[in-house]
Amino acid sequence: MSETTSSWPSHDPATRRWLPARSTAVDPTRVETLLAAEWERFTRHTPESAEHNARASKTLPLGVTSSFQHWDPYPISVVSARGAHVTDVDGRRLLDLSMGFGAMMVGHLNPVVVDRVRHALDEVGTLFVTPSPTATEVAERFQERFHLDLLRFTQSGTESLMYAVRVARAYTGRKAIVKIEGGYHGGYDALQVSVKPPLAEIGPADNPIPHVPHDAEPGTVYVVPFNDLGQLERVLGEHGREIAALVMEPVVENLAIVVPDEGYLAGVRALCDAHGVVLVFDEVKTGLTAGYAGASQRLGVRPDLVTLAKSIGGGLPLAAFGGRAEVMEVVVDGRMHHFGTYNGNPLVMAAAGAVHEVCTHEALERAEGINVGTLDRIDEVITEFELPAHTVGMGIKGCITWSPTPVRNYRDYKATDFRLAELSWLWGVNRQILTPPGLDEQWLVSLAHTDEDMAALVADFRELATALRA
């Protein structure tokens, strides 16, 4: 049995992290036995998904349209969705707690989004390739909502982050960048460095070695741990004159959920200012899921540039980058050119306007209240069964992290129990509760979810806890 101490730095008060007072290890043999049984159950109940994946693999690598959709032996194939649920090819109705990593936070087929998109299809058009009042109106709403002086629309988070880096390079006249070890920021080469790298290849924690995939040409990229101002100060002190930007998520959301220490982001802001480095907050995954005006406003630290995607588009491909006028001026004077045939097209602008309308303070507060209540009830289960786990929350997202101690950076994350994480995820899938695949189990309470929906998650977790201690 281990007991939790309070020797770690406090987390930012705008975030939520709960640690158990005590925990007891879970028998690994029991975990493996349950995993074997659950994988057998999965293949037995999803034959049509297996057949569809075999068919799709003849034309699509791995049988999927994006590599994250794949898991072994095959992923679930979905044919339709509405509200908080999806239906798979085997006819099973699943509670969707993935919700497109936040892209569907207003719910599948949200009636306001559907109405606005249908109007655009019937009365407006899908593409002009000219300036349009529809794009200007949405830009004005986002400008006010996210406190951005200037912004531009793109099609994806990857694209927005690429342009944010290019803006920073044009503004500073420098080329190198700094990123957070383990962090994911889309497919742009410069940000492919040290995305969940192998521990054996990245050196000591106090002096990380950047890990560069063979298929990327990133340029000069420095890597620092999250929640470590000392490492950031060292890198900027040694290389600040060549560094254009620090790119980071204010809350890391590809490692389950890793929240900043109290005062950490303010320290990051001060160090970037001292060295003339552009601070870029990647809010592709946070955005509206963190609150009405995004994570940067909630956490009280203003970056120079923000990238947005997923939550702002209502399920249509929409992203944006923007920030301080002085920095974005490089797009105005031509130091950095930004192009895109589909940027701000009327169809996605219709959806974005609907999302803005639907995502009121009241609606988001209601969803966050449901999320907090869910986390509280899961905490009770962890306490009752003395599970080696803790919970983390940010806005309408929550997760169970299989460690009794806080995860403050990538190396902490790598020390969590991934076999338990796999079992927890698969246990839910087999009981028709869908969270994102992989080892980063994270749920999202959309505007379509109810207390009753989330009670199913809690009941599922209690059943798992009972099985682990049987």
Helices (H) and strands (E) counted in the chain, each on its own, are 14, 17
Cα separation values, 415 from 17, 292, 336, 452, Å: 18, 33, 42, 34
Q: Order across the sheet with 93-96: list the strands.
A: 78-82, 85-88, 93-96, 433-434
Distance of CA 404 to the CA centre of its chain: 22
Distance of CA 46 to the CA centre of its chain: 27
Per-residue DSSP letter, 83: B
**Parallel, antiparallel, or unpaired: how do β-strands 176-180 and 243-248 relate?**
parallel
Distance of CA 399 to the CA centre of its chain: 12
Q: Give the separation between CA 97 and CA 289, rounded to whole angstroms.
A: 13
DSSP calls for 216-285: ----SEEEE-TT-HHHHHHHHHHHGGGEEEEEE-SSB-SSS-BPPBTTHHHHHHHHHHHHTPEEEEEESS
Q: 227 with 264: CB under 8 angstroms?
A: yes
Q: Give the separation between CA 323 and CA 302, rounded to whole angstroms.
A: 9
Q: 401 with 17: CB under 8 angstroms?
A: no
Retrieve residue 376's tokens.
Answer: 């509280």
Q: 32 with 419: CB under 8 angstroms?
A: yes
List, by residue number, the catalytic residues.
Answer: 184, 282, 310
Q: Give the separation between CA 379 and CA 391, rounded to whole angstroms.
A: 7
**Bridge partners for 397 per DSSP:** 394, 444
Retrieve residue 367's tokens.
Answer: 């969803």
Other Cβ atoms closer than 10 A to 410: 27
Instruction: Label each residue of 394-413 as H, E or C.
Output: ECCEEEEECCCCCCCCHHHH
Retrieve residue 83's tokens.
Answer: 């509200």
Q: Which residues touch 6 (CB under 8 Å, ≥6 apart)?
A: none
